[in-house]
Each structure stands twice: as C-alpha cells, then as structure tokens.
Amino acid sequence: MDKIPLFAKIQILLVDFWINWLNFWLKIFKNILFFRKIKNPQNILIYKVGNIGDIICAIPSFIAIRRNYPNAKITLLTSPGAKGAIGAKELLGGVWYLDKMKIYYADEIDSLGKKRKFVKDLRGNNYDLFIQIPDDLANFRTLLRNIVFAKFIGIKSAFGFKIRTIQLFKKTQVDYLIKKNEVDNLLLILKENGIIPEKVEFDFNIGDEIKNRVSNLLIKNFGADYKNNLIIAISPAGKREANKWPVDRYRDLALYLKNHYNAKIIIIGGEKEIDDSKIIKDGFSDNDVLVLTAKIELLETIELLRRCSFLVSNDTGTAHMAAAVSLPIVGIYGIRNVFGSWFPYGQNHKILYYKFINCDYRGEDCIKKSVELIVFEEVARACYSIIKKLNKN
C-alpha cells in the first residue's frame, strides 16, 4: 500500500475494519446457536446460489469437499433465482462429486407458508453439516438469515458465513485494490475451516453423445480438418447491459481476425444476443462464421469451447466456462467489481480493464463507460498476443 494516497489508505482500512467487525458478529451469533464441530460428517448440505459464473467458480470447492469427505452423502441446495434462469441444474447434472441437487426458485419461497414447508422438507433429511459457499456480495442480513435457516433445518455443524465485499468507498476499492480470483477466494474459506484442496479441479458430466454432436457440428461447418484452423469464439453476451462491449466493435474485430489470421469465428450466446449475432455475422460467408446463439445447450457450449483456440468475451458466465476447460480468454471487463475478483480463473488470459475514471462507480452508466473506453485496437492487440503464443506452441 506504499504507493496508495493517504486518503485511500484510510478508506481501505475502514473497509477492512467494517468487514472484520461484521464477520465478528456473525461468528458470535453462530456460536450462540450452539453449532459444534464434527469430525466425520456423513450427510452434508452445501448451500450455493447463483447463475453460470457463480456456480462454475464454486465447482473446485464442491470437488474439494467431496475429496475431503469421500464417503459422505453430499447435497447441493441452490437457486438460479427466477424460473427460466440457468444455473447448477443445467451445469452439474450427473457429476460424480454431488449425490443430489435440490433446486428451488424465488416464487417457491415467496410467502411465509411456502418458507415453512421448505424448511420442514429440508429438516427431514437430517443433515449434519451445512457448508455455506457465500456470494461475493452476500451482506450481513443475508448471512445472518442463513445461520438461522441452518439451525431451523436441524443442522449440527455449519460454517462459511463470511462477508467478503462491501460497497463502502467503492471507487477507492476499485482504483487501488487487487483481489484474488473468485475460485481462490471460495477455496480459501474452505481452507480456513479445515478443508484443504490438493489442486484446483473443474469437471462436468459431458458424455460421448455431446462430444460427438459438437464434433459433427464443427466438421459440417469447417471441414474434417477443423482442428488445423484458428477457431475463435466470440461471446457478446452480458447479464447486464452495461457489461457489454459495443456490438459494432465485435463485428469489426471478427472481420479483422478473419482477414488477418484466416480465423474461423463462432458466435455464442443466449436469446438476447440473437440480433447482435446477426450484426457480427454481417460480411461473412457461411464457411467462415458459425452462429450458435441460442442453438446449443450449456454443456455443448462448454465442449465447443474446449475445441476452440481462444475466446473473446464480456464479463459473463461464458468466460468462466472457457476458463474451466483451460481456454485462453480475451476478457473485456468494466469497473463493476474490484480488479481481479471476477476475472476468469487461470494465467493465460488477457484482461482489458480501465479504472481511475471520473464518474460514480456505483452507476450503470459509469460501468458502461468503463467498458466502452476499451477500444478496438486494444482488443486486437490482445488477440494477437494470444495467437502469437499459440503459434509458438
């Protein structure tokens, strides 16, 4: 912190103090409810909510829990939010490190009566260990509620109720701090509670049927020798509009990659990106670009990314899918989160990120501005850097 201005140091110290103070009271409250440590849990409930990126970043934690408790029955309790949202159900079906998943949606617990039934159903499973995998932005009230929830469903032992981020002095935090990746942050919480991972592992239940479908798709569009091509995936998607790099720049980038490197382009995304995909495809022949927006399932997308050379993506779940299969990423990120905290896992990525911007970092307009400050030439240089490294290998 030597190069940080005094006012920023003071604000960062206040942030740290407040986080530690809140976590102190969470620990006190958990102890009041008489949770105790148990040596050999047999029936574990992991609680982790979120969408694609949240769940993928938690996979190494799920695997670490399984490896530490190989004989336990492990259930994941999770929710993607509203019905129709994508999360663990689509990502983790049939994985070896979970015995069961319990999926719920917001409207299923939106009344007192529904909440009572929800708690009663869970209580009947006799879980002995509750592991909270906390969201990055989980606040004191939410975690306090989850402690009470764990007690109500009859849990004997519980941990993971930890505040990691607060929005106090957000601009100072974003401008001056560098944080560990979300994957490492979640594993650190496990380490603090005695679960030590041997390594960072990702795994999906992707069978031969999915692999064959993806192979046939690539052969049909790019030929039997598609593996000899430079194949670049582009994801113009974004859960929030402010996270999206302008689509016309993606179009210019795709044409540049085709004209300069003879690259094959694959465009991926959801229903919301259909129109953007059409704009990006403009000017291409069918043999040079493959539009798969809203056309393939989630696990097919992961397997497809495994076959690509690299990905260009906004700050969205697609980047985490690519990182999970060790695909290099050119990431276009805004100041929504502190530098590093939600970057894709791994060392071979090129992340573009601006800070020290004169606007309110809490506003969507400011976040959008930080993304739009990243110009075409910077992204093109980042792509060249990855292509140069791929050619060396």
Q: What is the pLDDT of residue 119?
A: 92
- CA dist 215 and 207 (Å) reads 13
Q: What is the pLDDT of residue 239?
A: 85
Strands, E assignment, the chain? 43-47, 73-78, 100-103, 129-132, 157-159, 231-235, 264-267, 289-291, 310-314, 329-333, 350-353
In the prediction, which pLDDT does 238 show? 87
Instruction: Report all structural domains of the chain as residue ranges with CATH numbers, in order of start.
Output: 6-192 (3.40.50.2000), 209-392 (3.40.50.2000)
Residue 326: per-residue pLDDT: 97
Relative orientation angle of helices 112-123 and 140-152, to the nearest 10 degrees: 50
pLDDT at 283: 77
Query: Model's pTM, two decimal places?
Result: 0.95
Tokens describing residue 382: 């980042």
pLDDT of residue 242: 94
The pLDDT value recorded for residue 287 is 80
β-bridge partners, 103: 78
Nearest alpha-carbon partner for 158 in 133, 187, 181: 133
Cα 107 from Cα 89, distance rounded (Å): 17
The CA distance from 37 to 131, in Å, is 12
Mean pLDDT per block of 10 residues along the chain (393 residues) reads: 85 96 95 83 96 96 97 97 92 97 93 92 94 95 95 93 94 94 96 94 97 96 91 93 95 95 95 92 84 94 97 96 97 95 95 96 96 97 96 80
